Amino acid sequence: MAQKMLDVIGIGNAIVDVIARADDAFLAAEDIAKGAMTLIDDARAQSLYAAMGPAIESSGGSAANTIAGLAALGATTGYIGLVGNDTLGEIFRHDITALGTQFQTAAATDGVATARCLILVTPDAQRSMNTFLGACVGLGPEHVDDAQIAAAKVVYLEGYLWDPPRAKEAFLKAATIAQQTGGKVALSLSDTFCVSRHRDSFLDLVRNQVDILFANEDELKELFETDDFDQAVSEIRQITGVSAITRGSQGAVILDAEGVFNTPAGKVADVIDTTGAGDLFAAGFLHGYCSGADAATCGQFGNIVAAEVISHFGARPEADLKALVQGVTP
């Protein structure tokens, strides 16, 4: 069995987030689906960016946000994702490596721009995401370093990246290496849009290669095509070892072989921006998991870290996460 030098390595869409405030009237005028993730092309990305108000630019992408949270908690981390050979790509690389994360994937050389996600946050803290995938969809199995995957306790896969066929090959390669070398495979379902498009293949992946599943309530119900949350919970318990299902202000439901655990949401004075809440929940949970904590404690870690990220603009932590979770004993 390979020596595990990394706690978690994430594989996902390397994206730079551009976050701005907006009201419902702006969303309607720009024909933006509120609270959803919509794929857009380069021309639409440029026109929408021009119409947006003042914005904050920061490195993002679901798995990268999770890895950033883990690094802030003191975990040893790695990341695999593809950026363009441009300024945004340099920003992304700087931001993630500055956290101490291993990021060895070379930039794309085909001239395609780094991916960006234009996020509109309305006064009710809902985020509407408009994503130009750019270079990140060029990720393929050749970008997956066997030794790096084998060195990780957990390989964390972002469901958003399941769409491009070559990225799917990269996923499956990484999952297979992890299984062969004693690592665990974690998957985030990412979005109901992803689940509805790939339900059968997601179910096959969860049954055969996923050890830890992350989803929110809507994604889980979409996976099993039901409006009954309890039924969806019953279904997922039959096919995976550990599942962590977030439910917003109701906290999270954690499932493992020992039972079902309800963990309350972390305390937050004002919800400013829900961007990255699920990503940072996964960071807290995996921090607990890699520290040997039980399932309920992992859920506590997740809720505390998620509460921090929704208290401010942006999907990367601003507070000292180590201090926030200090009172929780693994």
The number of folded domains in the chain is 1
Helices (H) and strands (E) in the chain, counts: 12, 14
CATH number at residue 141: 3.40.1190.20
Domain containing 79 equals: 6-322
According to DSSP, residue 307 is labeled: H
Two structure tokens written together for 112: 């395609």
pLDDT recorded at residue 329: 62
- Residue 81 domain flag: yes
- Residue 330 domain flag: no
Two structure tokens written together for 41: 């092309």
- Residue 327 domain flag: no
Two structure tokens written together for 91: 């920003």
pLDDT (tens, 9 = 90+) of the chain, 330 residues, equals 668 899 999 999 999 988 899 999 999 999 999 998 899 999 999 899 999 999 988 888 999 999 999 999 999 999 999 999 998 999 999 999 999 999 999 999 888 999 999 999 999 989 899 999 999 999 999 999 999 999 999 999 999 888 888 999 999 999 999 999 999 999 999 888 889 999 999 999 999 999 999 999 999 999 999 999 999 999 999 999 999 999 998 999 999 998 999 999 888 888 887 878 999 999 999 999 999 999 999 999 999 999 999 998 777 888 889 989 887 765
- Residue 301 domain flag: yes
Distance in angstroms (rounded) separating the CA atoms of residues 232 and 69: 28
- Residue 94 domain flag: yes
pTM exceeding 0.95: no
- Residue 328 domain flag: no
- Residue 177 domain flag: yes
DSSP 264-283: PPPP-S-----TTHHHHHHH
According to DSSP, residue 101 is labeled: -
pLDDT recorded at residue 171: 93
- Residue 83 domain flag: yes
